[in-house]
Structure 1
């Protein structure tokens, strides 16, 4: 099997839904942990349906996040790492977002980095960088 035919490996990085501050005005009204979990499940299914190996790495919004991510990145050679909008969009998550991007850059320099807007478009975010439809 050629490199282009090999199964693509994608890591989806998101914040543990139970640690999200739903009072943050930067988040959509009515959002809750159950809705995030449902969106994550949908995004993971869509990537599996594309024939990709997809892993999920949920982090806490604290100093443990980079350690957890770097440990996950040491287990598999990923083609793409998608960092979720829940980490990227809220202004108060900027430092966490920067730390995670730098962890990917350091621990998986071969991986493309992509960003979703919500869990269900994670596969589309990865596809932009994997040169697949």
Structure 2
């Protein structure tokens, strides 16, 4: 699991009192067979533009981040926290960003075509980097 999920689960388990709990996620409505149960519906929303920028800055350890980096990440991630994390990590790993004049900025603007434009493209890039696991993942997705 990713670090955000692990952090959530750790917090969730620590906050639980004794009792039975079922945690489930779905994009669909609760089935009618479960309507009589005591349910807490938590709807996750995308981050606002300001919250996205704050999150990006936090992922760069609170350092100053150039407007170009903020705009690119904000426009391509659509406020999805996991995707924001993925793109920031990818930029760091590929050394596409770094300190430039006291702020985080693109080191090689000519290589921005390496930055995925969508979550689907990001996942495809990850799959493409895998060898044998790629076929398994594609088969599992069908």
Report which of the two has the higher share of helix. 2
Give the TM-score taking structure 2 as reference length.
Answer: 0.22
**Rg bigger for which structure?**
2
Higher strand share: 1
The normalised TM-score by structure 1 is 0.23
